Amino acid sequence: MNDTAFNISDRQPVIRQLDDAAINRIAAGEVVERPASAVKELVENAIDAGARRIEIAYADGGKTLIRVVDDGCGIVPEALPLALSRHATSKIDGSDLLNIHTFGFRGEALPSLGAVGRLTITSRAEGHSAHEISVSGGAMSAVKPAALSKGSVVELRDLFYATPARLKFMRTDRAESQAITDVVKRLAMAEPFVGFALRDVTGGGEGRVTFRVDAENGDLFDALHGRLARILGTEFAENSLRIDAEREGLHLTGFAALPTYSRGSAVAQYLFVNGRPVRDKLLVGALRGAYFDFLSRDRHPAAALFLDCDPHLVDVNVHPAKSEVRFRDPGMARGLIVSALRHALAEAGHRASSTVAGATLGAMRPEQTGPARVYQMDRPSQGALRSSYQAQAPGFEETAGVFSRVDVVEAAQQDTPAEQFPLGAARGQVHENYIIAQTADGMVIVDQHAAHERLVYEKLKKQMAANGVAAQALLIPEIVEMSDGDCARLMEIAPELSKLGLGIEPFGGGAIAVRETPAILGEVNAKAMLLDILDELADQGESIAVQAKIEAILSRVACHGSIRSGRWMRAEEMNALLREMEATPHSGQCNHGRPTYVELKLNDIERLFGRT
């Protein structure tokens, strides 16, 4: 072996203090990852300054220009040089690093930006004239008078020109622009009473507005609902449930979408802690846990949730970018999210998203082959319609092959008007699988197998919750070898696993003895199950592997025990199914998140036939 090594030297290493320019460039590598990071820091400073209108302009994906204009409180002239000094801030006094009520508090953003780009700050505080200061690559200019009516203008040019190696890691202008838009939208969700405007000025001139929202009015929920409708779309606003829950100092608000309004990825999940946008595994895991019983693994819920608490209950100083947080009681935060969302989903009852009807109408709409013909006619009253339908209804013998006993259903509904029921009254069954029901202002098409499958599944879950999960004792306990750390992590959740029928205990030397398994699962590979649980604990901080396996079995039992496709149903059976759906939570979607029924409004149906 070679006697010399790279880490061995005859000379004693010299410890030296880095200069401020090098320190700021190092800090910039943590705080300013890309142009969107710079936008985030500058917009957060504007919000902390009390701005009610913030305008952001960028060029070339933010690489050559980022400009943020606000109408906030501004900075007094003598404080401008201090604002560009490292760890100088007006947000905290340093006595309590947990009592943080603002976005910024580290005092790193402005000096870091000035170290890697050309930064200019123009500001005017009330009672003072406007002044300007510049810093380029860490070199600061003198403060000089400027022209500005109110607030601040922060302009950052040539980002990373002082560290050209960082430019090689930038993505395309389009990708960086999209990242900037995403950052601004997240901050706009957190501040519904603040107006935002985002402009792309690539090529010079006024450019084009890529995103704009005006300040909302009303109470918090109305303002938030309006802001989310403008950012996430009216479909999300129409198909989302209001969330408002509190537990031991934690307050959860926001909106979560119905399971039938799910997405193919987690792009529509927005989480905030004390108004700060975060990407936290604990919160994402809680959101997924709240929906896991309603969505298949390839579907993801949509939600915008705001968790507020005393600043001492959460540490936001975990990462320089402040995108991660750590709760003093993470179990409490997770439990609040899961219970609040499940309660809201239960209160939604049989409701399904309106997008299901829209997709159905789109599939039914014929292709236009020429100018649309327009028909105009008066719509008769519901009473006149009902009398007309009864007079025109053919006998059973004429329709047995097409409409499955329509006259029998009519007779069953004579004493009970259809308008009294949300899912209406059954009028027939087609293809021995789809129930057609008439509502007060439209019609409902129900998938009888999917609907009954959900009803049976909910009954099985209710029985399991009441009676507990039966455990099957193993004649010979299975010993699973693992590390001491993994063994300790499993034993911490042993009481929760025991409630699900999985009994474990330490066997010494880092081994776990599995003495009981859930009886409903039959023969179980205990080692594989424990390893799956450990993987979930490492990735998400909690595990639902055992519960998911049990409920998957219940789902299969419900599938086999439900009304099969192809079975003809009597009128009273169809109506009983509709009434049970109305009384059962989550019946609007099957066990995999697909809708169990489609509701079509009469106006939409008439529009299909040109009756406008």
Q: Where are the domains of the chain?
A: 20-213, 220-347, 399-612
Q: Residue 119, exposed/middle/buried by CB under 10 A (0-12, 13-18, 19+)?
A: buried
The residue written with tokens 């599995």 in the block is 514
Phi–psi pair at 181, nearest 5 degrees: -60, -40
Q: What is the pLDDT of residues 237-272, one digit of tens each?
A: 888 999 999 998 899 999 999 888 888 888 899 999
* Tokens (6 digits) for 127: 């009672």
Round to whole Å and give the CA distance between 563 and 117: 67
Instruction: Lowest mean pLDDT of 80-94, 106-120, 262-276, 581-595, name the range.
Output: 80-94
Q: What pLDDT is recorded for position 95?
A: 55
* CATH homologous superfamily, domain 399-612: MutL, C-terminal domain, regulatory subdomain (3.30.1370.100)
The residue written with tokens 């936290």 in the block is 280
218 pLDDT more than 70: yes
Q: What pLDDT is recorded for position 322?
A: 65
Q: What is the pLDDT of residues 271-329, one digit of tens each?
A: 999 988 888 888 888 898 888 878 877 788 999 999 999 888 888 767 666 677 888 88
**3-class DSSP state of 472:** strand
103 or 297: which leads in pLDDT: 297
Question: Phi/psi zone of residue 253: left (φ > 0), alpha (ψ -120 to 50 degrees), beta?
Answer: beta
DSSP classification of residue 127: T
Query: What ranges in 325-422 are assigned the alpha helix state H?
Result: 330-347, 355-364, 382-392, 396-399, 406-412
Distance set, CA 199 to CA 52, 123, 125, 523 (Å):
17, 21, 25, 61
Instruction: Lowest mean pLDDT of 56-65, 340-349, 457-466, name the range.
Output: 457-466
The residue written with tokens 């339908």 in the block is 389
Confirm if 269 and 284 have CB atoms less than 8 A apart.
yes
Round to whole Å and give the CA distance between 434 and 404: 11
Q: What is the mean pLDDT of residues 38-54?
A: 92
Amino acid, single-letter form, for residue 22? A
User: Please, what's the largest Cα pairwise distance for the chain?
Assistant: 108
Q: What pLDDT is recorded for position 70?
A: 95
Q: Residue 470, exposed/middle/buried by CB under 10 A (0-12, 13-18, 19+)?
A: exposed
For the chain, what percentages of helix, strand and coil (3-state, to nearest 5) are there? 40, 20, 40
Confirm if 114 and 140 have CB atoms less than 8 A apart.
yes
Q: Residue 342, exposed/middle/buried by CB under 10 A (0-12, 13-18, 19+)?
A: middle
Confirm if 190 and 180 have CB atoms less than 8 A apart.
no
* Tokens (6 digits) for 471: 């455990």
Round to whole Å and give the CA distance between 347 and 245: 14
* Tokens (6 digits) for 173: 């202008």
Q: What pLDDT is recorded for position 119?
A: 92
**Stretch (H or E) spanning 516:** strand 511-518
Confirm if 113 and 28 have CB atoms less than 8 A apart.
yes
Q: Residue 217, exposed/middle/buried by CB under 10 A (0-12, 13-18, 19+)?
A: exposed
Question: Phi/psi zone of residue 517: left (φ > 0), alpha (ψ -120 to 50 degrees), beta?
Answer: beta
Round to whole Å and give the CA distance between 608 and 612: 9
**Stretch (H or E) spanning 277:** strand 276-278
CA 342 remoteness from chain centre: 15
Q: What is the mean pLDDT of residues 456-460?
A: 82
DSSP classification of residue 562: S
Report the share of the chain in percent with pLDDT over 90.
27
Q: What pLDDT is recorded for position 466?
A: 79
Phi–psi pair at 541, nearest 5 degrees: 85, -5
How would residue 391 be classed by pLDDT, with cut points 50, 70 and 90?
very low
353 pLDDT more than 70: no
User: How far apart are the two ends of the chain, measured CA to CA in Å?
Assistant: 90
**Stretch (H or E) spanning 405:** none
DSSP classification of residue 258: -
Q: What pLDDT is recorded for position 55?
A: 96
362 pLDDT more than 70: no
Round to whole Å and give the CA distance between 343 and 247: 14
Q: What pLDDT is recorded for position 65?
A: 95
346 pLDDT more than 90: no
* CATH homologous superfamily, domain 20-213: Histidine kinase-like ATPase, C-terminal domain (3.30.565.10)
Decide whether 20-213 matches 220-347 in CATH topology: no
Q: What pLDDT is recorded for position 102?
A: 67
Q: What pLDDT is recorded for position 103?
A: 66
Bridge partners of 473? Answer: 516
Angle in degrees, CA 298, 300, 301, rounded to 5: 155
pTM > 0.85: no
CATH 3.40.50.40 fits 220-347, yes or no: no
What angle, rounded to 10 degrees, do the helices at 109-116 and 35-48 form?
A: 140
